[in-house]
């Protein structure tokens, strides 16, 4: 496998720039909460020779590749098999209570997309799996087989923002009554048949359904709801966090939680802000930053990215 060819870290230079003030000092530790194949981590370890990175991932295949790729850094690269809402436990497992940096590169990884047998890609026929951790949990085929029509409609609407959610849910329930739906090509064919001809040109009709199933299988949004505050909590004063999101549902969660963390808690009407009400964090970028046009042209997976970042400015007294 040519890792460098299939895995180009998104917004790498900007990520390094934002994290640098927090992780340049001796003894600095960063948590790469979505290690993947270690592209961001490799660059950070090369750039900052005193840095240690704790890499988290739920995907055992990705961890194995990252261990090999990062072996040259010795014990400066550490690995924990966990979902990223387990960040506090992972930090404690390394004998630490706080860290200087946290990085989230959310969404499905290059490895998961490019290995057809994982079932993430609607363009490749494979078993309907979609588990980021292939050692546990329900598969996408299980969700398709066990969910009611109303549940499928909710999944496609809430997690895929799919306007034809009800239509697709109905078509799937009819089809599964005739035979189990266990492969991605079978599901794509059902969605194709259920899509009005006038809408066939508006992007691949299966894209949002596959996104929704992946989010449901991996509980991505509920995990992220827990992970962001947990990550903020382990940041030291002057520590920084960067989050790369790839779809609007993720970005809304990150935006809301960072805005809350960087806002005053003073009750309305107070004549002055007391020290204990001052924000614990400050935002490092205005809104969400996008990848440059040049990067988007070179790396198509950078097109949907939204980058947000924050720095801890104080701990509660």
Instruction: Assign 94 to helix, strand or coil.
Output: coil
DSSP state of 183: B
Distance CA 316, CA 200 (A): 54
Per-residue CA distances from 127 to 14, 116, 222 (Å): 37, 9, 25
Residue 45 buriedness (CB in 10 A; 0-12 / 13-18 / 19+): buried
Full 3-state SS string of the chain: CCHHHHCCCCCHHHHHHHHHHHHCCCCCEEEECCCCCCHHHHHHHHHCCCCEEEEEECCHHHHHHHHHHCHHHHHHEEEEECCHHHHHHHHHHCCCCCEEEEEEECCCCHHHHHCHHHCCCCCCCCECCCCCCCCCCCCHHHHHHHCCHHHHHHHHHHHHCCCCHHHHHHHHHHHHCCCCCCEHHHHHHHHHHHCCHHHCCCCCCCHHHHHHHHHHHHCHHHHHHHHHHHHHHHEEEEEEEEEEECCHHHHHHHHHHHHHHCCCCCCCCCCCCCHHHCCCEEECCCCCECCCHHHHHHCHHHCCCEEEEEEECCCCC
Eight-state DSSP code of residue 40: H
Read off the tokens for 227.
Answer: 């992970």
Residues paired with 105 in a beta bridge = 244
Nearest to 8 by CA among 213, 305, 206, 269: 305
pLDDT recorded at residue 123: 78
Give residue 301's pLDDT: 87
| SS3 state of residue 31 | strand
Residue in 19, 17, 76 with CA at minimum distance from that of residue 46? 76
Tell me whether residue 84 is annotated as binding.
yes
Q: Is-contact 76 51, C-beta < 8 A? A: yes
Mean pLDDT by 10 residues, the chain (317 residues): 63 97 96 94 96 95 92 96 96 97 85 59 87 90 97 96 96 97 95 85 82 94 96 98 95 96 75 75 95 93 95 90
pLDDT at 253: 97
Q: Was 40 annotated as part of a binding site?
A: yes
Gap between the terminal Cα atoms of the chain = 51
Q: Which residue bears the tokens 């991996």? A: 218
What are 25's two structure tokens?
């000092």
Domains defined for the chain, CATH in brackets: 3-111+220-312 (3.40.50.150), 115-218 (1.10.150.170)
- 160 CA to centre of own chain: 15
Determine the pLDDT at residue 108. 73
Is 36 known to sit in a ligand binding site?
Answer: no
Residue 137 annotated in ligand binding: no
Other CB atoms within 10 Å distance of the CB of residue 56: 25
pTM higher than 0.85: yes
């Amino acid at each position: 496998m040519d890792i460098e060819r299939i895995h180009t870290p998104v917004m790498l230079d900007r990520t390094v720039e934002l994290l640098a003030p927090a992780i340049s000092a001796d003894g600095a530790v960063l948590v790469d909460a979505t290690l993947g194949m270690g592209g961001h981590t490799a660059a950070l370890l090369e750039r900052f020779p005193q840095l240690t990175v704790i890499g988290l991932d739920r995907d055992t295949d990705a961890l194995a590749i990252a261990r090999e790729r990062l072996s040259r850094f010795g014990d400066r690269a550490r690995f924990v098999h966990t979902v990223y809402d387990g960040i506090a436990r992972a930090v404690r497992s390394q004998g630490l209570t706080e860290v200087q940096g946290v990085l989230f590169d959310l969404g499905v990884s290059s490895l998961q997309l490019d290995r057809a047998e994982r079932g993430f890609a609607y363009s490749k026929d494979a078993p309907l799996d979609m588990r980021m951790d292939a050692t546990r949990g329900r598969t996408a085929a299980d969700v398709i087989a066990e969910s009611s029509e109303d549940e499928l409609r909710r999944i496609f609407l809430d997690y895929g923002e799919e306007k034809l959610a009800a239509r697709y849910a109905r078509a799937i329930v009819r089809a599964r009554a005739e035979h189990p739906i266990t492969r991605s090509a079978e599901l794509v064919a059902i969605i194709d048949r259920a899509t009005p001809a006038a809408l066939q040109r508006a992007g691949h009709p299966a894209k949002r359904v596959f996104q929704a199933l992946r989010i449901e299988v991996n509980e991505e949004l509920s995990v992220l709801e827990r992970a962001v505050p947990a990550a903020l909590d382990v940041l030291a004063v002057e520590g920084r966090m960067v989050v790369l999101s790839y779809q609007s549902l993720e970005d809304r969660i990150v935006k809301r939680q960072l805005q809350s963390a960087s806002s005053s808690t003073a009750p309305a009407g107070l004549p002055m802000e007391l020290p204990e009400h001052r924000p614990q964090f400050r935002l490092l970028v205005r809104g969400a930053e996008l990848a440059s046009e040049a990067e988007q042209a070179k790396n198509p997976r950078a097109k949907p990215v939204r980058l947000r970042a924050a720095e801890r400015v104080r701990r509660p007294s």
